[in-house]
Amino acid sequence: MKTSLKKSEKIILISKQHWFVLILPIFYTLLIYFLSYIVLNYLTHSNVDNNILKIIILIFFCVYWVYKYIERSQNLWCVTNQRIISEHGVFTNYSKECPVNKINNISYKQQFIGHIFNYGHVQIQTASVIGLLKHKYVKNPQNLKNTITDVIEKYDKVSTSNSNNIADEIEKLFKLKEKGIITEEEFNKRKSILIKK
């Protein structure tokens, strides 16, 4: 993962695409290679030229398959205790992130073949500028969805307890002010510091 973690941020899960995404590039590579092999054998008569063209076509599609393999390994979602990070790209790196508190909805979809091979598509609806995060052909999409849901619940519990702590502290300061231990000015100053947290 290329994105740096923030202070006190922990990785909960890293999810990559399923190996199934490599099937289509392999199929295309083999299909086009064999079609070009047949066409070259019937259209040209020189075996030397045929062999060179066949090798060039084979090299081209091997490079294509290697590119797809690297692309798969670079495409990931990282779930941390504070945000969801989406990274992809081979020659250029793209990164999107969404804070956990901005997530509105998570859904996943598994079609029949995806259910058999345990892959699917995960979609996160956010309240941030990004709006929608999609991750296709995810390994074990239900695990990714459940992990994100658990992180959101834990984050909400921590946020709620922090809000309650701040309210309790303000109430204590108010009682001190009422008893005359601190002045109105001190009360307002400390209250504004607590609210800014």
Task: Return the pLDDT at 119.
Answer: 92
Q: How many domains does the chain have?
A: 2
Q: What are phi and psi of 163, to 5 degrees?
A: -65, -40
Q: Please, what are the averages of pLDDT over each run of 10 residues along the chain (197 residues)?
A: 83 89 83 76 63 77 87 89 87 85 87 90 80 85 90 77 66 78 80 71
pTM for the structure as a whole:
0.65
Task: Return the pLDDT at 109.
Answer: 92
Number of H helices, E strands in the chain: 5, 7
Q: Are residues 81 and 171 in the same domain?
A: no
Q: Are residues 63 and 128 in the same domain?
A: yes
Task: Return the pLDDT at 50.
Answer: 67
Q: 76: domain range? A: 11-140
Task: Return the pLDDT at 110.
Answer: 92
Q: Are residues 25 and 121 in the same domain?
A: yes
Residues 58 and 33: beta-carbon distance below 8 Å: yes
Q: Are residues 97 and 126 in the same domain?
A: yes
Task: Return the pLDDT at 164.
Answer: 56
